[in-house]
Amino acid sequence: MLRHRFVLLALASVLPAVLTGCNEKTPADPRTEAPLVRVASLQEAGLEPRSFTGTVAARVQSDLGFRVSGKVLERFVDTGQAVKRGQPLMRIDPADLKLAANAQREAVNAARAQAKQAADEEIRYRSLRSSGAISASSYDQIKSTADSAKARLSAAEAQAEVALNATRYADLVADADGIVMETLVEPGQVVSAGQAVVRVAHAGPREAVIQLPENLRPRIGSTAQATLFGNQDLNATTRLRQLSDVADRQTRTFEARWILEGEMANAPLGTTITVKIPSADSAGQSTLRVPIGALYDTGKGPGIWVIQGEPAQVYWTPVVVQQLDDEQASISTQLKPGTRIVALGAHLLHEGQPVRVTAQAALAQSARP
């Protein structure tokens, strides 16, 4: 009887603990739960103009060279000198060119004599053929010789004309009004045909030539402010004329040419110039600020994870990065200010993945300046 009473007491003490354990929920496995993300809200960004330094250049700049090879005898211009169209720039030794022209002229005389002799023979053999003194095949051979001599005469005359023209190429002249930017050879050097010997900037519009990064491509015709180095009071509005579609192989930048107008239209060539490009928004897009940790590149360009729905899910949205600093990034996107995005852990998510958002995290991120 004592044993049964002891068993009942033991069961009475254990049963409440067992019942209490059944009412408790089993802790969720964190490996199967939706990830907890840090949230931020898109904020409007006021971007400062971006400054780039370049040089003043002419719209057209030519590297001039002789059309024939030879030894340079004289240089008539210096770097920075203004020149007029047709003005001599350099001269090479014309002696060999004159000898070649004389040789071709004598070749023409020889070819003319042979052509005359062949033509006279053709006339004589033509009369003999009419009288039946020679066969038709013999006459055809004589006529073919006369035609060949006539063709050789034409070729010799053409070569003589080329040689005569070459004597005129001994003088290199400016093909337009402009300024000598650089002389590349000196008297005494032997140059080949087509080798650049002097660089001339044509008279006309002046342009600011700068190099732009890959993430900045202003619209053709857009304006910017230009300032010459050492003269901050001289400002002028410039207009983008050309933006290269091919990046430089070494710097990976794109050449941009801005037309200088007003007081800078006659700025000295080669002068250092600063162009301030306004951070204009793209058509239909706004410039917003996000934490730098929100950006993620999947290999197809940068983007951010946008949080939508209830329960919350993430969706990938591509963006264009305008500026970066240590903590923030300025982007162009179709999204509106206030849109919730993932601020940290973007590399761990995938399209349409459910996430957990804490109200405290969202509130703290939205309140950031």
What does the pLDDT read at residue 128? Answer: 82
User: Quick check: 198 and 182 in contact, CB under 8 A?
Assistant: yes
Q: Are residues 82 and 191 in the same domain?
A: yes
Q: Are residues 299 and 352 in the same domain?
A: yes
Identify the band that residue 278 occupies on the pLDDT scale cut at 50, 70 and 90: confident
Match 């899910």 to its residue by tokens. 313
227 located within any domain: yes
Extended strands (E) in 68-177: 70-75, 82-83, 88-92, 171-173
pTM of the model: 0.59
Q: Using the 8-state DSSP alphabet, how is residue 169 labeled?
A: T
Can you say whether the dihedral through the CA atoms of 339, 343, 348, 354 is positive or negative? negative
Cα separation, 286 vs 322, whole angstroms? 11
Residue 61 lies in a domain: no
Residue 352: how many CB atoms within 10 A of its CB? 11
Of 110, 143, 168, the domain-final residue: 168
Q: Residue 155 above 60 pLDDT?
A: yes
Q: Give the number of domains in the chain.
A: 4
Instruction: Identify the sign of the CA torsion 68, 72, 76, 78.
Output: positive
Based on the domain organization, do 305 and 352 belong to the same domain? yes
Instruction: Kindly state the tokens that stand for 193.
Output: 């045909």
Say yes or no: 123 and 249 in one domain. no
Residues 163 and 174 in one domain: no
Angle between helices 136-168 and 95-131 (to 10 degrees): 160
- 132 part of a folded domain: yes
| 287: containing domain | 36-46+283-366
- What value does the mean pLDDT take over residues 336-343? 88
> Residue 305 falls within a domain, yes or no?
yes
Average pLDDT over residues 237-261: 92
Q: What's the CATH code of the domain at 73?
A: 2.40.50.100
Domain contains 13: no
**pLDDT for 37-92, tens place per residue?**
888 888 877 667 788 999 999 999 999 999 999 999 999 999 999 999 999 999 99
Comparing 14 with 312, the larger pLDDT belongs to: 312
Query: In the numeric block, which tokens belong to residue 36?
Result: 């907890």
Supply the CATH number for residue 268's domain. 2.40.30.170
pLDDT class of 161 with cuts at 50, 70, 90: very high
Place of tokens 């969706």: 315
The tens digit of pLDDT for each residue in 117-137 reads 988 888 888 888 877 777 888
Which 8-state DSSP code applies to residue 336?
A: P
Q: Is 70 exceeded by the pLDDT of residue 5?
A: no
**Co-location of 127 and 103 in the same domain:** yes
Q: Which two tokens stand for residue 76?
A: 């008539």
